[in-house]
Amino acid sequence: MPLIFLFFLFFVIFAGLELYSISWVADRIGFFSTLIIVIGTGLAGAFIARENARDALQNLMRGDFRSGPPARQMFDAVVFFAAALLLIIPGLITDAAGLILLIPAVRTLIYNRLRSKAEVTFRQASSSPPPQSNSPGGKIGDTTSSDDIIDIEAEEEN
């Protein structure tokens, strides 16, 4: 099956689930209450995106690492942006996912899980030594031969 068809199928099913959840909640609490919830979470998502992502990026640019290492701050900025995006998209399932991403314990759990997987991948990739070069004058790990080098000199135009 082509990948584009799978994406299309996913979005059709997801949109159906979102519509079903909204109609289910609207039957229980009323249409206007549901509408207020959906619009309110959209506004909250826009506010969260503006405030938290801006603060995280300013801390990174200033080099202020009191709230954690740069990788953690970048991760938090990306997760805040994703949570805000999920809250802005109309729907109750996306709102729930966005709110879950705002919980600090959930972000820490996801960060630690991703970091441990990245460390394992890095260790596996770096466990083999770099390839050796047999070319004369070559450096360790240099895979080019002296025949592949082109010497260029720059000249200034008047």
Nearest in space to 11 (alpha carbons), one of 91, 102, 78: 91
Query: Using the 8-state DSSP alphabet, how is residue 138 labeled?
Result: P
- Which residues have a Cβ under 8 Å from the Cβ of 27 and sit 6 or more positions away? none
**14-23 pLDDT, tens digit each:** 889 999 999 9
Cα–Cα distance for residue pair 75/107, rounded to 1 Å: 9
Identify the CA nearest to 93 among candidates 1, 6, 13: 13
pLDDT of residue 131: 53
pLDDT digits (tens, 9 = 90+) for 90-101: 888 888 898 888
Query: Would you say how long the chain is, in residues?
Result: 158
Domain boundaries, the chain: 31-125
Mean pLDDT over 42-59 rounds to 77
- pLDDT at position 90 is 83
